[in-house]
A and B are shown apart, each in its own frame.
Chain A
Amino acid sequence: MSCHRPDRSEAAAAALETSEPQARSRPVVALAGNPNVGKSTLFNALTGGNQQVGNWPGKTVTRKSGLFRSPADGWSCDIVDLPGTYSLDPVSPEEEVARDALVGGNLDAVIAVADSTHLERTLYLVLQLRELQHTPAHRPFALVVALTMLDLAKQQGVHLDVQELARRLQLPVVPVDWTARSLSRLMQVVRDQLKLMARMAPRSITRSEAGRATTRDGDEAKPGNAGREEDPLVVAGRRYAEIERILAAVVRRRDGRTFTDRLDEYLLHPWFGYLFLGMVLAGFFWLTFAASSPLVDLLDRAIGRFGTVAGELLTELGTPAAAIEFVRDGVIGGVGAVLAFFPLMAIFFFLFAFLQDSGYLARAAFLLDRWMQRLGFHGRVFFVLLSGYGCNVPGVLAARILDNADDRRAAILLEPLIPCAARLGVMAFMVAAFFPPATATAVLLGLLVLDGVLVAVAAYFLRRRVLSGRQTPFLLELPDYHWPSLRTLLLGTWHEVRHFLQKAGGIILVATAGFWLASHLPWGVPIDETLAGWLGRGLALFLGWLGLDWRMSAGLLSGAIAKETALSTLAVALASQAGPGAAGLGDAGLPALLAAAYTPAQALSFLTIFMLYFPCLATARVMQQELGDRRWFAGGVAGSLALSLVVAGAVHAVASRLW
């Protein structure tokens, strides 16, 4: 797709931090446009792999910037991929970011990306940008229109007169067909505009063009500010009237039902649509978990092998046994705990991006809104919560698709209540140890249903009572279906996974190694005499009324770091007390040990707490980051902790009667 070979300069992102445009070495060019018009595809094509992904300052909105370097003469500029927006009057954090960047006056050029199959709507932002360009008070910037989706327009029998469009818009318009030639042509036009702008004094630009462009009243000032006084229907009406005039001369279309129309007959069908949605969701989870588990196993074995080899090497070097064990089980084990996220996250984000880019995610949200609006949520929230069933981390990150700040906060706070795959594994194992198979299935299902009800109740409570801020108008674009480009999907997936590993990897590693030390020091004593043993004993003082002993408490402590370790910690604690003979016994003997040590009521009480009490460290880390505010995080954790204790108390009371 791209022919240039940009060198890896880390300065690209730094350049954007400079607020003074004059102080920058390279011009900054932003990509602006409606959602789904091809901005990110263009961004990837222009910047290649040379991208920085981070957050906009103070916002949980992803910021992507990259370096473009001309293959011909090495001219370079920084490119920013702005979030999609319909207008310069924002209704969501994403749109706010786009507006602030565009109105802020820090850009040298803007490439307005317009979808040629939806020109009527996508030109609206172009007109707003043109008004902004001609606002006398605003710092001048170059504006170039890039037309995408030309292949689709052709398929739909739409004929476009690009030259006429440029003439009527009084803006340069470049068709982009994703060949290297059209991309370099686009950037050449941007360069020409920048040069032109530099030659003209800022004043003269505004004088000569402003009158013609802003229709009639010159006092239209800044869109997004002064527009507020005027009726939005009138302002928008004026812009659409101009668009209609322009398009009448530019577009000749053959009307007919498009591919999207025909597909939606089925995919949004009153019952087949829901059936298909069910299949998509099932397939989504099956692929995320079933397909990632062999990869996780493989990684697990590789790490285990690596640990063994490293241990042998250290032995030969004469390292003390305690240190070897620490390196092998604590440190290398911690690396394994971090890497275990990799396959799952990669597959999850790939599929998620596929659903989003293909246009289906919007339909799913529309279909699901049927139930979510009753809870006071947007339909997309359902998808976000569901994403947490695999692993809460992607669930929390998926909340970024929510426009409404309150929806987003509530969804993130609900996420730890959703039992992830690691928790489900522990729960299934424990339940099977205490009940015969048929009962075990029913008990596990019962726990999950209980959890589902709690999530719904908590959701209702949160959104109606705590985060009861205004609802964003529900207006969900159902974009045309697209076959997503593999390159965009892979790049996006890679950024998400890398971002997660950077943010959470270190803390997981340190905590895993730290807990290993806590459960082994002082060296040589049985686990109940170690630091972790004492901590467990302390915690058991508070949890005794729920039937939990110190071993279960120690399990909960390690589960707060990584859920799946709760069981192994419990197993070690049980085995050390069962005497030396039981020490080496693996999973095979564990159910018997468990059943001998606890009553079913105790087990259920433990599992209820375990299901609800605390997000694992990785989840906690991303929750903190995505919420942006410590108070929300602290409140959410306190809430789920309290909930887990109350519910476990009830479960313990009921279960003690039954069994």
Chain B
Amino acid sequence: MIGRPIPPAREGGLQERRLSDLLPGEQARVVGIGGGMNLRRRLADVGFIPGVQVEVVRVLAGGRLIEVAVRGTRFGLRWQEARQVRVE
């Protein structure tokens, strides 16, 4: 799942940001989600869809664990999952 190519973002630039790149307290807007069908569906079901505002609440374990708030709910994600969420 990790090694799968990620479809290019709309702008297509190299310096596109991922949810995993955000600092604690930083907010961003989701622009796309990569990864396998399972991950995409699960993230979409709980509200990670293009256009939605997300906030990284805190980062633990040296960046391996990330707490994200979306639509008023907090979720714990691993770096691998957070990396699949493209933000701007």
Contact = CB atoms under 8 A, between A and B. Distances in A.
Given A89-B41, A369-B65, A233 B76 contact: no
A254 interface: no
Interface string A66-94: 00000000000000000000110101000
Contact of B45 (A232, A260, A373, A472): A232
Contacts of B1: 470-471
B42 A475 contact: yes
A589 interface: no
Interface stretch (A116-124, A390-398, A440-448): A116-124
B8 interface: no
Contacts of A240: 47, 49, 52, 71
Contacts of A622: none
A478 B67 contact: yes
Interface of A: 86-87, 89, 91, 117-118, 120-121, 124, 231-233, 235-237, 240, 260, 264, 268, 270, 273, 362, 365-367, 369-370, 373, 470-478
A580 B37 CA distance: 73
Nearest to A86: B45
Interface in B23-41: 32-33, 35, 37-41
A472 B36 CA distance: 11
Given A121-B73, A373-B78, A268 B49 contact: no
Nearest to A91: B42
Nearest to A231: B40
B60 A121 contact: no
A366 B38 contact: no
Given A237-B49, A475-B81, A118 B73 contact: yes
A299 B57 CA distance: 49
A233 B40 contact: yes
Given A86-B45, A362-B76, 7 more contacts: A86-B42, A87-B45, A118-B73, A124-B47, A366-B60, A373-B64, A373-B78
A198 B73 CA distance: 38
Residue among A118, A232, A260, A478 with most chain B CB within 10 A: A232
Q: Is the interface of B mostly helix, strand, loop or mixed?
A: mixed
A473 B72 contact: no
Contacts of A120: 47, 71-73
B50 A232 contact: no
B77 A475 contact: yes
A273 B67 CA distance: 14
Nearest to B78: A474
Contact of B60 (A260, A370, A476): A370
Nearest to B33: A233
Contacts of A270: 60
Given A370-B61, A478-B75, A232 B46 contact: no
B58 interface: yes
Task: Give 8 nearest A-B pairs by CB, closest first.
Answer: A236-B44, A232-B41, A366-B76, A370-B61, A87-B45, A476-B76, A120-B71, A478-B74
A121 B74 contact: no
A367 B60 contact: yes
A118 B73 CA distance: 7
Contacts of B49: 233, 236-237, 240
Contacts of B71: 118, 120-121, 240
A121 B65 contact: no
A268 B46 contact: no
Nearest to B52: A240
Contacts of B73: 118, 120-121, 477
A369 B45 contact: no
A130 B38 CA distance: 23
Contacts of B40: 231-233
B9 interface: no
Contacts of A91: 38, 41-42
B44 A235 contact: yes
A237 B31 CA distance: 12
20 contacts: A91-B41, A117-B72, A120-B71, A124-B45, A232-B37, A232-B40, A236-B44, A240-B71, A273-B60, A366-B67, A369-B65, A369-B76, A470-B38, A472-B38, A474-B76, A475-B43, A475-B76, A477-B46, A478-B67, A478-B76
A475 B74 contact: no
A362 B71 CA distance: 19
Residue among A118, A121, A365 with most chain B CB within 10 A: A121
A477 B47 CA distance: 12
Contact of B58 (A89, A121, A268, A473): A268
Residue among B40, B49, B64 with most chain A CB within 10 A: B49
A64 B86 CA distance: 41
